[in-house]
Amino acid sequence: SFSHGTTGIASQCAPSRTATSSPRYGVHGVSVATDYIGLGPVGEVHPYLSASAEGHAAIDAVRAASQVPGANAGTEWLSVGGSQGAHSALIAGERNATYAPELTLLGTAAMAPPAAFDQTFGALDVVVTNIIGVMMLYGMVGERSDVDPDDYVGEQVAAAAHVLDEQCLGGITVEFANKDHAAFWKQDPRLVEPTRSYVMENEPGLIATPAPMYVSSGTADIQVPIGRVHVLMDNLCAVGQVVEYHEFEGADHGGVFARSDAGVRRFLAERLAGDPPTNSCPWR
């Protein structure tokens, strides 16, 4: 099951509305890729970086495949994703046992996974996290009817909120990157209730899974700074997760995916073959 990266939060941003295909990473089997909950149906909004909206959708795609006549889909599966999709892949793995006990997860591969949602990592990351934060805030309304974005955003952001409904990631980034980030929030939703609790409920890496993981990051990634992945690795090792970690020197966000390709292919093949996993914990 492949989980896609960030596209936006409006219905027109669903990958299924494009001709984009998903990578298979050398796996010879049934491949599925879902739109996240809220993407696709006209008029809905995607709860961005919501564990349920992403992780459950990734698992449901596996379930759906078993209902396709002639697909011959089994109950063993692999969870793979990059960027937002890495968050989805991790959460799907964490929730597999309780949400879909009839399925057996063999492994999870997460490239450039976002984590540590209540933290920032340098001045540039303030801009990145504000863009992510505004998508999370306006997206969470689909799951939290008690949240009013106007209670949190500054005047410039409120005036531009229509862009979240009208544009996908490129347009959203251009619009909100140029705002006054010192006045972006009236109150930061990551720091005050009830939104802080919602944000932290979606933090990955706090639950160990029996299936091994592959995690990769890049030292030059500005979308998912290396510090976020370090926090994730600290958490994964702390809960006893078996995780193979690769850190690519000089790799930016796209470079992480390119330089992870061979490793992900090997990792997935090893999981299907039942080979012993590599464990990078303790990693530092």
Nearest to 243 by CA among 273, 266, 264, 212: 212
Q: What percent of the chain has pLDDT over 90?
A: 92
Q: Which residue has the higher pLDDT, 248 or 142?
A: 248
Please provide the distance, in angstroms rounded to a whole number, between the alpha carbons at the two ends of the chain.
31
Joined together, the tokens standing for residue 181 give: 């980030």
Asked whether residue 19 carries a pLDDT value surpassing 80, the answer given is no
CATH architecture of the domain 2-117+204-273 equals 3-Layer(aba) Sandwich (3.40)
pLDDT tens sequence across 234-282: 999 999 999 999 999 999 999 999 999 999 999 999 999 999 999 999 9
pLDDT at 38: 93
Average pLDDT over residues 44-48: 94
Residue 225 DSSP code:
-
As a whole number of angstroms, the distance between CA 1 and CA 14 comes to: 16
> What distance in Å separates the CA atoms of residue 91 and residue 97, rounded to the nearest whole number?
11
- Report the pLDDT value the prediction gives residue 20, as an integer from 0 to 100: 75
pLDDT tens-digit series, residues 30-40: 999 999 999 97
Task: Name 244's bridge partners.
Answer: 214
Residue 142 pLDDT? 85
Beta bridge partners of 248: 218
Provide the pairing of β-strand 243-248 with 2-3: unpaired
Q: Tell me what pLDDT residue 18 has.
A: 83
| Residue 43's pLDDT band (cuts 50, 70, 90) | confident
Write down the pLDDT at residue 45.
94
Q: Does the pTM of the predicted model rise above 0.85? A: yes
d(CA 24, CA 93): 18
Give pLDDT tens digits for 53-74. Answer: 999 999 999 999 989 999 989 9
With 90 as the cut, is the pLDDT of residue 22 above it?
no
pLDDT of residue 89: 97
Residue-wise pLDDT for 160-208, tens only, equals: 999 999 999 999 999 999 999 999 999 999 999 999 999 999 999 999 9
Residue 234 CA, chain-centre distance (Å), reads 18
Can you list the alpha helix ranges (DSSP code H) found in 141-212?
Answer: 155-159, 162-166, 169-177, 195-201
Q: Where are the domains of the chain?
A: 2-117+204-273, 123-200
